[in-house]
Structure 1
Amino acid sequence: MNDGIPFLPEEIIRNILKRLPVKSLMRFQCVCRQWRILFKTPSFIANHLDHSNHQNPCLLLQRYGIDNPSNLYCLDSEMQVRELQNPPKQGKIVGSSNGLLCVEINKHDAPPHFLLVWNPTIREVRLVPETNISKDYGHHLVGFGFCPIINDYKIVITYFSGVYSDLSAVKVYSLSLGAWKEVEFRLNDTVGLSSSSVTVNGVMFWLMSKRFGEDPDDEDENLIVSFDLSVEVFTVIPIPELEPIELTVYEEKLAIFSWNRSSEHPGTDMWVMEEGVGASGERWGWTKKYTCSPDPFFLNPRTILRNEIVCCPLWEDESTVVFLNPTSEKMKKFAISKCDYGYCIFNYAESLIPAFTNFL
């Protein structure tokens, strides 16, 4: 108290405000000019995002297999399902990072790779310029991630002439520079990227299958391709002999879900990549964290939220999402909306980061 007037130190006010939902902060901009400026300050945006990531992580779910996915759902930290309002029409989410979403527009008359960067919480959208890549490429994947070293978000498009072929081209878009560039990456063997990307600490990863011959019966070798967003260099990483399903992030490290089809203990394994010299002198080592016993033909693991595995049922009603506790192996089911094809699932946290400027 100072002369009978209530007073809170600035540090305490910031500590309170960083814990509030973005929707509340948007309303509080009209309280005073000081708060309006504060909510656009890089340090406050970073503190709010850090709290949101750790205390209020969410999932975004978007329908598979329809041309106009008008319904986009958020499963929040309170396990409440709500529909996000006004998603881009005919837009498919291809990446999520720090509250920003990369959206590919599927209009038939749109240019190739018509992309948007969208923050649904503060309702900002940024149109990404065209890539000027030939329309002849028949297959592509889009990755989106943040690199803390250079403080920049990047979109990476990998182009193929088919599902299995040499990488035809790689284009990278920097949000801070607002420009595309082409990056060289070639392999001598026939390859195919077989998963969507995951970004961990500024490095983007894909699962890769390498085929050694033209015969369809030839066995493939499973590898990982990494792309360092700071120096824009690709690396091929070996993985254990396993049957990979999906890449994910576990305690800020890259992890792989894989099928375990052993007759004694069928289920799902999770392997975590540890950087450093492995047992055979490799730069990367792998550790199996756990095996979950539910039938691997029943659940398809997709990501991790609050140390639980988020799965889509394979042979049940596709309108549910299953949370599996790897320690107790107890399962919880959450109904979303009726959907015959299942959902794309993305980790998400509400943030104040604007779509137009890199503000972390």
Structure 2
Amino acid sequence: MDGDFPFLPPEIIRNILKRLPVKSLMRFQCVSRGWRILFKTESFISDHLDHSNHQNPCLLVKDFEIEDDPSNMYCLDSEMQVWEFQNPPWLGYLKQGRILGSSNGLLCVKHDASPHFLLVWNPAIREVRVVPETNIGKDGFYNLIEFGFSPIINDYKIVIGYFPFDHADVSTVQVYSLRSGSWKEKKIRLIDTGGVTSPGVTVNGVMFCWGYKYGEDGFENVIVSFDLAVEEFTVTPAPQLHKHSGFAVYEEKLALVSWMIEDSTHSVIDLWVMEEGVGASGEIWSWTKKYSINPYPCFLSPMTIWRNEIVSFSIGKPESAVVFLNPTTKKTWKFAIGKYGFKEWIFNYAESLVPVGGMISSTNFL
């Protein structure tokens, strides 16, 4: 009405704010004390993250280390715009380090040559936590190291394990909790498997990676899962796969992308999806081959699934590229990401306000 002070209900303001990029929210902290407090509440962080995951999922791409590239890290957003990480903290560390995993806007970075073995980093709010050293990581004796999130306990965890290939009855696993800020060591016994290796993927709070079962004919691939909430391992059979296979997430379910090279010039790709079973709780697992793509006329190395498309490296003529393959329509398209042809790794990524409880590298978001 004429003369009334402009007013928006708090729920409408909140609904507008959750749709904004993190950079804008960091600026708007100075608008009022109420907004500054709101942006730090778990409910708003969760709402903003949910919107970011579903409306603007991004693809994080890391080139191999190049001397004249300041960060060698790029993001492809849902608008198909590529932007580069600007002046990231711990630049030398991140440039030479390896990204272990990406979860809800947090990145876990490993650097074997540094005294700071692991970092947890939120690039959007420019916050970094230095993870305390652990004996397994310090000595370098490990063959499992993964990063993931459990929605049941609302906690992020790093899992490092040493599983010797000598039929040992007991293996050592160390679990770092971002919420508690400390490591916990566990002695566990995996039945029917001789070893566990990275890399893997975390789906609905359960971490999955490859294991190897001893048999009369040698090694047989099995899937090892680790429930982050109850911290228990389970070993289950794997479907019949091609020579190369990697874990991914498809329609919020565990997926396996399996591929092989035919005649050194064509790639065959299968997509398997797990329809039942959630980690260590003991359900029966059922695998379904959703799609088979045969053949694609070049050498593809699938890395992840983004917006329900398989993202791969294409290596060879006419040039190296990132290839997006739709398993439903079987259509493919290429996109140039970064400055260089070959990529070191690709992750799903979404901007978030999730804190890591560490130091702020810079307060200048303007």
Give the TM-score range, shorter chain.
0.7 to 0.9
Report the 3-state secondary structure (helix = DSSP H, G, I; strand = E; otherwise coil) of the residue aligned with 1:184.
strand
Task: Tell me the equivalent position of 1:61.
Answer: 61
Contact 1:318–1:341 (8 Å) recurs in 2:
no
The yes-or-no answer on 1:326 pairing with 2:332 is no
Report the 3-state secondary structure (helix = DSSP H, G, I; strand = E; otherwise coil) of the residue aligned with 1:8.
coil
Say which structure is richer in helix.
2
The yes-or-no answer on 1:308 pairing with 2:309 is yes
Distance in 2 between residues matched to 1:351 and 1:125, nearest whole Å: 14
The yes-or-no answer on 1:133 pairing with 2:149 is no
Task: Tell me the equivalent position of 1:271.
Answer: 272
Report the 3-state secondary structure (helix = DSSP H, G, I; strand = E; otherwise coil) of the residue aligned with 1:354.
coil
Q: 1:165 to 1:336 in 2, by over 3 A?
A: farther
Q: 1:252 to 1:94 in 2, by over 3 A?
A: same
Equivalences for residues 28-47 of structure 1 within 5 A: 28-47=28-47
Distance in 2 between residues matched to 1:64 and 1:208, nearest whole Å: 28
Report the 3-state secondary structure (helix = DSSP H, G, I; strand = E; otherwise coil) of the residue aligned with 2:333.
strand
Equivalences for residues 94-173 of structure 1 within 5 A: 94-106=100-112, 108=113, 110=115, 114-133=117-136, 137-160=140-163, 168-173=171-176
Gaps of 5+ in 2: 359-366
Distance in 1 between residues matched to 2:337 and 2:21, nearest whole Å: 22
Q: 1:50 to 1:110 in 2, by over 3 A?
A: same
Task: Tell me the equivalent position of 1:92.
Answer: 98
Report the 3-state secondary structure (helix = DSSP H, G, I; strand = E; otherwise coil) of the residue aligned with 1:236.
strand
Distance in 2 between residues matched to 1:40 and 1:64, nearest whole Å: 35
Report the 3-state secondary structure (helix = DSSP H, G, I; strand = E; otherwise coil) of the residue aligned with 2:296.
coil
Structure 2 residue identity aligned to 1:291 = S
Equivalences for residues 125-274 of structure 1 within 5 A: 125-133=128-136, 137-160=140-163, 168-187=171-190, 191-212=194-215, 218-243=217-242, 244-259=244-259, 267-274=268-275
Normalised by the length of structure 2, the TM-score is 0.84
After TM superposition, give the deviation of residue 37 of structure 1 in Å: 1.2
CA deviation profile, 1:90-130 (whole Å, cap 9, x unmatched): 32211111001111124x3526xx11111000000011111
Distance in 2 between residues matched to 1:79 and 1:69, nearest whole Å: 22
Distance in 2 between residues matched to 1:135 and 1:40, nearest whole Å: 34
Report the 3-state secondary structure (helix = DSSP H, G, I; strand = E; otherwise coil) of the residue aligned with 2:15.
helix
Distance in 2 between residues matched to 1:194 and 1:341, nearest whole Å: 24
Task: Tell me the equivalent position of 1:49.
Answer: 49
Contact 1:268–1:296 (8 Å) recurs in 2:
no
Contact 1:267–1:293 (8 Å) recurs in 2:
yes
CA deviation profile, 1:212-231 (whole Å, cap 9, x unmatched): 36xxxx54311110000011
Let me know the Cα RMSD of the aligned residues: 3.0
Q: 1:192 to 1:340 in 2, by over 3 A?
A: farther
After TM superposition, give the deviation of residue 151 of structure 1 in Å: 1.2
Structure 2 residue identity aligned to 1:302 = M
Gaps of 5+ in 1: none
CA deviation profile, 1:318-352 (whole Å, cap 9, x unmatched): 75211111122221211123446532111100000
Task: Tell me the equivalent position of 1:21.
Answer: 21
Q: 1:316 to 1:45 in 2, by over 3 A?
A: farther
**Number of residue equivalences:** 345
Distance in 2 between residues matched to 1:118 and 1:295, nearest whole Å: 37
Report the 3-state secondary structure (helix = DSSP H, G, I; strand = E; otherwise coil) of the residue aligned with 2:40.
coil
